[in-house]
């Protein structure tokens, strides 16, 4: 041991253009234009040795002072029904997260993870089984998109933060990710093509409203009264509907961006006609003449939850009832049903398999 302290290497995927220029000029002693070349390669998920228009001394210096946090594809499943692709990624420390790429008429959309695991405890969600391990960095979130684009040979134009984890529980990294992914010199994905889903962390909703970002906020509701919402979403004990809905109203007033409320339909729990009536009354009372949308989601059966989907007819009847009550509601299109495309299922299965192998 010579007592030398090794300087921590910087992750290029976490850098905005100013930081990348600083690295190139100060650490690597190169001209600023090299930063633009590196940024272009990062958009292709290129490794250092693939950056063929950079001089070899610069490549060598980058390897010494920087890293690339691209996730490795641990598993990849393609739906035979609709070509939805689910990636199970292994991060550099071995943690597993998921991303799902879906094709729509408007192009390709990706649903990404923001944490390894989740501590919110929603009973219907596989992502929360096992709790939260750690937050993802902005570079790791960006890497989910970059690797998916390279693997599939497509350009992704829409992003949904609705995979494993609660985005607003990883607020600082998520905010930096949003600025990176929308940067013109990067992937240049418009904020209007980005949706962020939250279970309802009221203080962070207020913080996000101040950022003046043109994204769509999706709020998980799933029940129209505190007793039933708390039974399936423990976060409601801390931030009940009396606090959550005014925060959503304030978010619209500050940003002008319509809120989308997610409502997971669970057979025998919250899918009766009376539940539709109560939901309509709650939202119309809370929002007045402000616009909002209800996104109805048939629950994905997770063995540990015991919850089951209702019939397709009952789902459509619930939607029609809301529409008749002048509530803008639609049923979310189900994609990747044959590949367990809902968040957390592949990660949980991989973890269970690993435990089984250790015990055998």
Q: Are 182 and 191 spatial neighbours (Cβ–Cβ below 8 Å)?
A: yes
Q: Quickly list H helices, 73-217.
A: 138-152, 171-181, 202-210
Catalytic amino acids? 98, 343
Residue reference for tokens 């809120």: 259
Percent helix, strand and coil across the chain, each to the nearest 5:
45, 20, 40
Strands 329-331 and 107-112: unpaired
DSSP secondary structure string, 166-187? -GGGGHHHHHHHHHHHT-TTTT
Long-range contacts of 350-354 (CB under 8 A, 24+ apart): 350/74, 350/75, 350/88, 350/96, 351/96, 351/130
DSSP secondary structure string, 240-270? -HHHHHHHHHHHHHHH-PPEEEEEEE-TTTT
Q: At what angle do helices 138-152 and 171-181 cross, to 10 degrees?
A: 40
**DSSP assignment, residue 191?**
G
Nearest CA-CA partner of 296 in 265, 271, 258: 265
Residues in the chain: 360
Nearest CA-CA partner of 155 in 105, 203, 195, 109: 109
């Amino acid at each position: 041991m010579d007592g030398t302290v090794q300087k921590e290497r910087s992750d290029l995927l976490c850098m905005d253009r100013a930081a990348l220029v600083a690295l190139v000029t100060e650490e690597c002693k190169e001209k600023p234009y090299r930063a633009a070349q590196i940024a272009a390669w990062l958009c292709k998920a290129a490794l250092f040795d693939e950056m063929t228009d950079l001089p070899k001394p610069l490549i060598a210096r980058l390897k010494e002072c920087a890293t690339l946090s691209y996730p490795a594809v641990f598993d990849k499943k393609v739906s035979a029904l609709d070509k939805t692709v689910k990636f199970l990624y292994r991060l550099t420390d071995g943690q597993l997260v998921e991303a799902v790429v879906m094709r729509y008429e408007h192009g390709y959309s990706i649903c990404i993870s923001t944490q390894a695991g989740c501590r919110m405890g929603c009973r219907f969600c596989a992502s929360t089984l096992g709790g939260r391990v750690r937050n993802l960095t902005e570079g790791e979130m960006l890497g989910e998109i970059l690797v998916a684009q390279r693997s599939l040979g497509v350009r992704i134009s829409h992003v949904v933060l609705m995979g494993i984890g609660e985005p607003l529980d990883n607020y600082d990294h998520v905010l930096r990710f949003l600025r990176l992914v929308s940067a013109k010199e990067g992937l240049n994905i418009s904020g209007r093509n980005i949706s962020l889903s939250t279970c309802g962390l009221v203080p962070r909703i207020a913080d996000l409203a101040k950022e003046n970002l043109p994204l769509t906020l999706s709020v998980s509701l799933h029940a129209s009264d505190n007793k039933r919402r708390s039974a399936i979403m423990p976060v409601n004990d801390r931030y009940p509907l009396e606090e959550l809905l005014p925060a959503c109203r304030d978010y619209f007033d500050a940003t002008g961006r319509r809120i989308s409320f997610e409502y997971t339909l669970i057979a025998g729990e919250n899918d009766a006609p009376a539940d539709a009536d109560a939901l309509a009354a709650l939202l119309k009372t809370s929002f007045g003449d402000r616009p909002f949308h209800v996104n109805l989601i048939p629950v994905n059966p997770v063995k540990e939850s015991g919850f089951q989907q209702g019939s397709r007819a009952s789902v459509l009847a619930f939607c029609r009832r809301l529409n008749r009550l002048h509530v803008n509601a639609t049923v979310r299109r189900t994609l990747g049903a044959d590949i367990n495309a809902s968040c957390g299922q592949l990660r949980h299965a991989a973890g269970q398999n690993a435990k089984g192998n250790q015990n055998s």
